[in-house]
Amino acid sequence: MTSTPPLVRSFGYVGFETAKLPAWVEFAPKVIGAMIGETLPGGGLALRLDDWSYRLALVPGPAERLAFIGWEVSDAAALTALEDRLVAAGMPLTRGSDEEVRSRRVQGLAWCLDPSGIRTEFFFGAERASVEFAAGRPLSGFVTGDLGLGHLVLQPSDPDATLQFYRDALAFRLTDRLHAHLYFLGCNQRHHSVGVANIGGPARVLHLMLEVGDIDDVGRALDLCIDGGIRASMLGLHSNDRMTSIYITTPSGWEIEYGWQGMLVDSGSWVTETIDRPSVWGHRQLDVDHPPAPRRFQQVIQ
């Protein structure tokens, strides 16, 4: 636990490069219930989860990879304070160009490459959309607001340095750890907004968590994956943030954790914990070649 306030308020937006934009345009509204937003400068596509103009950006390109992370600060003064803190940590920020500010739909931003080379942006003044949010399929809605858009779990090329970046330079709370394999860090009441994995293999994004307002939303997503032949896990309950969730493989190959009722924590009194397993139950992989069938009773009455 740190006594320094984090300055970052929430996980605001995230961008992914993809060569599979048409598949995403089909997948995002129909399976996860996102709303297709505006086309961004350079041909990227905004996806909406709430009243913000965009929360996810899909940027056309040859790779399936994380392109940038956007962390929200409260205002211009907070961004300046954060710049001072990162200069002191030896990681000076670069102010975003006018085009970058317009593209991200914010009032101001600055960015750096994190120790693993991931473009990491800090911004204030997210634009609210002029068109009301309408989910892409029946859905109670996404849990965002002050908690941010969800959480992101990364396997960086340098996990130790990335952990230091978030915990020491940015003053995120180390909420808990799964031995030395996975570190969960938070900047607000959400149990964690970023996870740093140390499990080896190439640097990659492991998953993006989106929280929905009702367990029915998760159940419907699982049905849609089974019916559509989309790789997913069965339901499970996480041991640390008590999230009931499934994991859905996106068209890009990385996963979306789609969850309900994650734990909120009080930063002031929280003590870092160590957990010994990720799930209390479940999160078994669904075999898409042999999907579960409706029970005989359900077949009879249909």
Q: In the complex, which residues of this chain contact Fe ion (CB under 5 A)? A: 209, 257
Nearer to Fe ion, 103 or 193 (CB): 193
Rounded least distance, CB 93 to Fe ion, Å: 28
Q: Between 48 and 151, whose beta carbon lies closer to Fe ion?
A: 151
Q: Quick one: 83 or 257, whose CB is closer to Fe ion?
A: 257
| Distance from C-alpha of 36 to C-alpha of 54, rounded to nearest angstrom | 9
Nearer to Fe ion, 79 or 209 (CB): 209
Closest CB to Fe ion among residues 46, 163: 163
Q: Rounded distance, CA 96 to CA 219, Å?
A: 41
Q: What is the spatial distance between Cα 90 and Cα 81, in angstroms, rounded to a whole number?
A: 14
We find the least distance from the C-beta atom of residue 278 to Fe ion, in angstroms, to be 9
Shortest Å distance, C-beta 38 to Fe ion: 28
| SS (HEC) of 98-125 | HHHHHHHCCCEEEEEECCCCCEEEEEEC
In whole angstroms, the minimum distance from the beta carbon of 297 to Fe ion comes to 34
Which CB, 105 or 190, lies closer to Fe ion? 190
Amino acid present at 230: I
Under 8 Å CB-to-CB from 227, ≥6 apart: which residues? none
Within 8 A by CB and 6+ apart from 45, the residues are 21, 24, 25, 36, 37, 38, 39, 57, 58
- Minimum gap (Å) between residue 258 Cβ and Fe ion: 10
Tokens matching residue 84: 């001072």
Report the b/e string of 203-235 with b at 16+ CB within 10 A: bebbbbbbbbeeeebbebbbebbbeeebebbbb
Q: CB of 221: closest distance to Fe ion in angstroms?
A: 15
